Structure 1
Amino acid sequence: MNYRLAQAVIATFQTEDSRMLGERISKFSYRAWKGTYPWLDASGLAIYFLDRLHVLHMNDAIPPRVLLRLKKNAADNQEKTNRLFEEFLKINRDFKNAGISYANLKGFTLAPDAFSEAALRCQLDLDFLIANHDISRCEQIMRRHGYLLTGIGSNVREFKAGGEGTPCLRNLYKVKPQRCVEIHFADDRGWDCIHFQDDRLFRLSSRRWRDLELPILSDSDKFIAQAVHLFKHLKGEWTRAAWILEFVNFVKFNQENHTLWIEVQRHVSKSEEIALAVGVATLVSRENFAMPFLPEVLTWTISQLPRPVSLWIERYGKRIVLAKFPGTKLYLLLCRALSHAGRGELCEVSDKLFPLRRPAKITVTNRETRLSLRLRGALDEIGYFFFGCAFTWNRVAVT
């Protein structure tokens, strides 16, 4: 991977100076681009970068073969997005017909705030927020659509379908048989990593897609959910650069939405944990992308960050974005900074470097799956395990 090239890609989102950017980008050879493809894909920036080249009239700044690849990625992703959108509508129809209390999360609901159109985003799954009392009816609907329950958390359940085969990075943008849905449940235990009463279903908004008027989160809840999601991943090995860019885009798009920022102020004043998540997400975003305008409430959340946390972001925030998949162990230093500031539990480094529990399954099979495919799935699981071991050993050796 060419880190200078990755930095040049990030720079295209930081300024409108196309002449300077063109001179910088055009210095890199096709070989440098080819070696940086895995980062460009895993970071989620590939199609956003192509769109940025069009906006800045800089298509000629990159090798023709690179431009052709990006355009093929965009075309494939458009088809995949269309297929995912049809699934999105089918599940929504069944939820509405069943009278389930729910809302759509992330993904399609973030346009046009976080991205101008859905096909620019490499979306992998669908997310819904369901009232706690509708769990059983929700599971019945998912089974009717061919989904199997593959994971259970404190307030989330993962469903997968079409599991014959293993997704891989080289087919990231292509239509694939595998489908994934995450169902988040709203209850008094809080949402994601925030221990705060989840009352989002009581202040929903709505949006029309085709003939359906569908429930979505309010603007303030969408923004806070982005911050919480970003904060959660910063406390783990891998954070996609695209999530940070989308957070920045959301702020820019809503810079005159005073009602939104008043609501955000109300939430952060009630919860130190939400204020912490918003502050961390805002500061790491400002470190990586241009944010000339910050609402007063976001400036305030940054000022309230514990000094060790601010120092971690200033020291490692850009390294996180430039990391190769599957990430780094730098998050352990953030966890330590949070615990020293009394804002998190002290994690045992040995447990993180040498986890004793089996990693999450990456394939889904059932009794009807052919034996050959089940064996292939088992081999893929073994390969994934040793990939994780290599990642751990590499980080330990570096440390």
Structure 2
Amino acid sequence: MNYQLAEAVIATFRQEDPSTHHEALSKFNYRAWQGTYRWLDASGLALYLLNRLEVLGIQAAIPGPVLLRLQENAEDNQANTMHLFQEFMVINREFTRVGLCYANLKGFTLVPDAFREVGQRLQLDLDFLVDRSHIFQCQRTLERQGYLLTGEGPNVKEFKAGNGRLPSLKDLYKPKLQRCVEIHFDDVNGSAGRAFRHDRLARAGLRRWEDLELPILSDCDRFIALADHLFKHLKGEWTRASWILEYVNFVNVNEENYALWAEVRRCASESEETKLAIGVATRVSLQMFDIRRMPDALAWTIRELPPTVSLWLDRYGKKVVFARFPGTKLYLLLHWAMARDGIVGSREAKSPFPLHRPARITVKNPSSSLLVNLGKVLEEFRFFLFRLYFHLEQGCYYMLEAAHWKRSVAFLRKADPHQGELQIRSLDTLESKE
């Protein structure tokens, strides 16, 4: 992977300066682009980059084969989006017919705030928020549509249907034989932040698609969901750069929506978890992209960040975003610091090396032929080796980095209490943009 090229790609989404971006991208040859394809696809930026090049009028800055690849990806993704939208409508019709209390999440609901057109974004699954009391009915409804439960956590269930094999990288943007749905449900017990999230269905609004008005989250809840989602992945192995870009786009599109930011400030004031998620999401966004005019509500969440969290973002934020897929284990250092600071909802991760096998990536089907089932076994084995290499490589890197990190945290706690202030941009700069 060519990290200088990755940085040049990120830079194109900042200031409107076509000549500068043309000059920067023109320095990289076809081989450099080939070595960066995997990151470009995994980061979710490939389709956004093509659109950005077209907006700036600098398509000639990249090698012809690279431009052709991006254009083919965009065409394939348009077909995939249409295929996924059809499934989106089928499931919504069924949920409406059986009377589920639910709302659509992410994906199509983020247009036009996070991205202008649905075909510009690589979307792999459908997400829904369902009232916890309707989970069983929801599962039965999906099973009638051919879906099987393939995984679950405290507040999520994953369902898959169709061909159980994962698409190859060359088919990433093409319509998928395997269909994936995630059902989310709020935890009604615990902190005020969780109680606040439980009210999201009551605050949901409607948006029309075709002949149906379908439930989506309110503007404030959609924004907070973006922050929560980004923060959740920063606390895990892999964070897509496109998620950060979509967060920035949402802020920029709504920069004059003062009612929205007043509501965001109120919600963040009532929930430490929400305030922390927004502060982290906003700060890492400032590291990677441009927020044209910083709302006061967001600048406030940055000022409220714990010093250790600010230190982790300063030291590792860019490393995490520019990491090769499937990511790093640097998030464990964030968990370690948060747990020792007693930050709400945090707990220290125990070990960089897991003691269990990875989750299944294929779906069992008793009616499949022996050859198909053998293919799935082989695919599971290849995935096991892939994960094993990741854990060994990144586990060793984590152990080396942990000693440096712990010394940095110890120094921070002994230093001036303002040591953790924003280093990317001073607060004076932030406040001048409010």
TM-score normalised by length of structure 2:
0.89
Q: Contact between 2:113 and 2:253, CA under 8 Å: does it hold in 1?
A: yes
**Partner residue of 2:108?**
108
1: CA distance, partners of 2:207 / 2:346:
39
Q: Contact between 1:165 and 1:373, CA under 8 Å: does it hold in 2?
A: no
Residue deviations 1:290-333, cap 9 Å, x none? 11311101000000000111011111111111111000111111
1: CA distance, partners of 2:189 / 2:169:
35
**Partner residue of 2:70?**
70
Range moving further from structure 2, 78-87 or 308-317: 308-317
2: CA distance, partners of 1:356 / 1:300:
41
Q: In the TM superposition, what is the alpha-carbon distance from 1:17 to its structure 2 partner?
A: 0.6
1:156-171 to structure 2, matched below 5 A, reads 156-171=156-171
SS of 1:237 mapped into structure 2: coil
Range moving further from structure 2, 255-264 or 333-342: 333-342
SS of 2:180 mapped into structure 1: strand
SS of 2:214 mapped into structure 1: strand
Q: CA RMSD in A?
A: 1.4
Residue deviations 1:224-253, cap 9 Å, x none? 001001000000110000000000000001
Q: Contact between 1:77 and 1:122, CA under 8 Å: does it hold in 2?
A: yes
Range moving further from structure 2, 334-343 or 43-52: 334-343
**Partner residue of 1:390?**
389
Q: In the TM superposition, what is the alpha-carbon distance from 1:155 to its structure 2 partner?
A: 1.5
1:287-302 to structure 2, matched below 5 A, reads 287-302=287-302
Structure 1 residue identity aligned to 2:7: Q
**Partner residue of 1:93?**
93
Q: Contact between 2:164 and 2:178, CA under 8 Å: does it hold in 1?
A: yes
Structure 1 residues 223 and 186: CA distance shift in structure 2, 3 A: same
Correspondence 1:129 to 2:120: no
Q: In the TM superposition, what is the alpha-carbon distance from 1:374 to its structure 2 partner?
A: 1.4
Q: In the TM superposition, what is the alpha-carbon distance from 1:359 to its structure 2 partner?
A: 1.4
Q: In the TM superposition, what is the alpha-carbon distance from 1:281 to its structure 2 partner?
A: 0.5
2: CA distance, partners of 1:73 / 1:287:
28
Q: In the TM superposition, what is the alpha-carbon distance from 1:384 to its structure 2 partner?
A: 0.7
**Partner residue of 2:348?**
347
**Partner residue of 2:35?**
35
Q: In the TM superposition, what is the alpha-carbon distance from 1:190 to its structure 2 partner?
A: 7.0
2: CA distance, partners of 1:339 / 1:277:
15
1:142-153 to structure 2, matched below 5 A, reads 142-153=142-153
SS of 1:176 mapped into structure 2: coil
Please, which runs of 5 or more residues in structure 1 have no aligned partner? Answer: none
Q: In the TM superposition, what is the alpha-carbon distance from 1:90 to its structure 2 partner?
A: 0.5
SS of 1:129 mapped into structure 2: strand
Q: Contact between 2:336 and 2:349, CA under 8 Å: does it hold in 1?
A: no
> How many equivalent pairs are there?
395
SS of 1:28 mapped into structure 2: coil
1:329-340 to structure 2, matched below 5 A, reads 329-340=329-340
Q: Contact between 2:186 and 2:194, CA under 8 Å: does it hold in 1?
A: no
Q: In the TM superposition, what is the alpha-carbon distance from 1:340 to its structure 2 partner?
A: 2.4
Please, which runs of 5 or more residues in structure 2 have no aligned partner? Answer: 401-434
SS of 1:379 mapped into structure 2: helix
Correspondence 1:188 to 2:188: yes
Structure 2 residue identity aligned to 1:347: E
2: CA distance, partners of 1:336 / 1:392:
18
Q: In the TM superposition, what is the alpha-carbon distance from 1:360 to its structure 2 partner?
A: 1.5
Q: Contact between 1:164 and 1:373, CA under 8 Å: does it hold in 2?
A: no
Structure 2 residue identity aligned to 1:87: E
